[in-house]
Amino acid sequence: MTRLSVNINKIATLRNARGGNMPDVVKAAADCERFGAEGITVHPRPDERHIRYADVQPIKDAITVEFNIEGNPIPRFMDLVRSIKPAQVTLVPDAENVLTSNAGWDTLKNKDFLTEICSTLKQDGIRVSIFADPIPAMIEGAARCGCDRVELYTQAYAEGYRRDREAAIAPYINAARTARECGLGLNAGHDLNLENLAYFHENIPWTDEVSIGHALICDALYMGLENSIKAYLNALK
């Protein structure tokens, strides 16, 4: 079964826009679990424009489902995740000034760096996922770095879905098969939503986990958080 990990960054964005602690991101994480989420994801960035580094331990303490922390493995991030020890760390090559994640790793050029990071995290008992474009060579490169999973960057799929969903999913099926052949687990995320999620899952049913935040929180504005989470769970059935 494919698990739904809810990314709560956008809840923190709303809190930070006004200051104070409304909405409470720790309570939101616990509520997401109560409403059926099978994991919680956060992505603390250096500028702390949404999830703050100080949020991460209280969130972990408030949940019992899997905790996934995404980010670029700069020293401060590595100190954080090695202290928190979440179930999973997803390595994302974000520059400090990007609005949102916009590319996967070049696992060939960054092999030595990623190999060292993967080894360090796995010594702490943390599952490691590498954010990757749907390119077989990048998936094979990720496997050589020693990670446990890859997370397919699904923006291109989401953008192409309405034009030609068969063409949009094709490179992802190929990449997912490569991951399976390499013995890697498979995650997916970025711009997955209620329109395109079921088709992705139908074609790549061995996906271990999808991480969804922006679209799910946008839907929650109209549907409510509980109904939104249930709708995404239904899309994965």
Give the pLDDT confidence of 141-176 residue by residue, as tens digits: 999 999 999 999 999 999 999 999 999 999 999 999
Residue 201 annotated as lining a ligand binding site: no
**Dihedral, 55, 59, 61, 63 alpha carbons, nearest 10:** 180
| pLDDT-derived band at 195, boundaries 50, 70, 90 | very high
Residue 19 annotated as lining a ligand binding site: no
Instruction: Provide the mean pLDDT of the chain.
Output: 96
| pLDDT-derived band at 30, boundaries 50, 70, 90 | very high
Residue 50 annotated as lining a ligand binding site: yes
Q: Alpha-carbon distance 16 to 49, whole Å?
A: 7
Gap between the terminal Cα atoms of the chain: 8
Structure tokens at 56: 């991460």
The amino acid at 76: R
Q: Alpha-carbon distance 86 to 158, whole Å?
A: 28
User: pLDDT value at position 101?
Assistant: 56
**Dihedral, 197, 173, 207, 149 alpha carbons, nearest 10:** -130
Query: If you average pLDDT over residues 133-145, what whole number do you get?
Result: 98
Instruction: Point out the residues that are catalytic.
Output: 43, 70, 190
CB 168 within 8 A of CB 157: yes
User: pLDDT value at position 94?
Assistant: 79
pTM here is 0.95
pLDDT at 95 over 70: no
pLDDT at 99 over 80: no
User: pLDDT value at position 4?
Assistant: 98
Q: Alpha-carbon distance 182 to 205, whole Å?
A: 17
pLDDT at 98 over 90: no
Residue 213 annotated as lining a ligand binding site: yes
Q: Alpha-carbon distance 193 to 154, whole Å?
A: 11
